[in-house]
Amino acid sequence: MTAEDLAQPGSRRAADRTASPGGPEVGVLALQGDVREHVRVLESLGCTVVEVRVPADLERVAGLVLPGGESTTLSLLLGSAGLLEPLSERLRAGMPAFGTCAGMILLASEVLDGRSDQRVLGAIDLGVRRNAFGRQLDSFESDLVVAGIDGGPMHAAFIRAPVVERVGPGVEVLAVLDVARDRRPVVCRSGVVTVAAFHPEVTGDSRLHEVFVRDVAAAAAPAAAAAVAVPQRA
């Protein structure tokens, strides 16, 4: 899907941007970080949300949001919860995902300044650097133009945010930020995996979540159609 495909006519609350009643369940990784904020946004879009803490939770969902938090801690908790391998398998199989801040780091293929025991999911071919803008006190906000997202610039909150240092083939850069006279990607997309270096869940702007919800609905539609087409045995 290209940036042009992300744009939809009408308002930011258009019906085709929200989940339909009885649609697939979506998950928020709930091991650490700003889980509740993501849950609220998704529920406001009509989603049935599962807080994913164990493999059985992951089996229920058709897509997953990986929230901000502390990326090293989240990496270790994924392993101790038994989620690392099943989540990697689901992502390789094409499950839609949306990662913000630490979630971007987890979904990337490389953490340039990570600990030796830090694991990543490799769902999007990016090399990222943690806490690129400094400590919590150095957090800031900025307005970003995100390719394919209508409704004007997106107000973004960068809180101990990572930055993308390397973009692999097949990854689309949707938004950039000027950093030390250099333009660094802060929103990227590959297939049905979207990542952002900032926290859209805290600024009241749901447009990137809406992209994720549409990805989930589109991915679930062929499976639902196939299930209907399978004849029932007597």
Q: What angle do CA 219, 96, 170 make, to 5 degrees?
A: 105
The domains of the chain, with CATH numbers, are: 3-226 (3.40.50.880)
Task: Decide if 29 contacts 52 (C-beta within 8 A).
Answer: yes
Is position 199 annotated as part of the catalytic site? yes
**Sign of the four-CA dihedral 90, 91, 96, 101:** positive
**Active-site residue, selected from the candidate residues 101, 172, 188, 209:** 101
pTM of this prediction?
0.85
Q: Can 188 be counted among the known catalytic residues?
A: no
* pLDDT band for position 7 (cuts 50, 70, 90): very low
Q: List pLDDT tens digits, range 42-58.
A: 999 999 999 999 999 99
State the pLDDT confidence band at 17, using cuts at 50, 70 and 90: very low
Residue 44: strand, helix, or coil: helix
Instruction: Look over the chain and give the mean of its residue pLDDT values, rounded to a whole number.
Output: 85
Catalytic residue from among 37, 172, 201, 210:
201
| CA atoms of 176 and 179, how far apart (whole Å) | 9
Is 201 catalytic? The answer is yes
> Among 38, 188, 199, 209, which one carries the catalytic annotation?
199
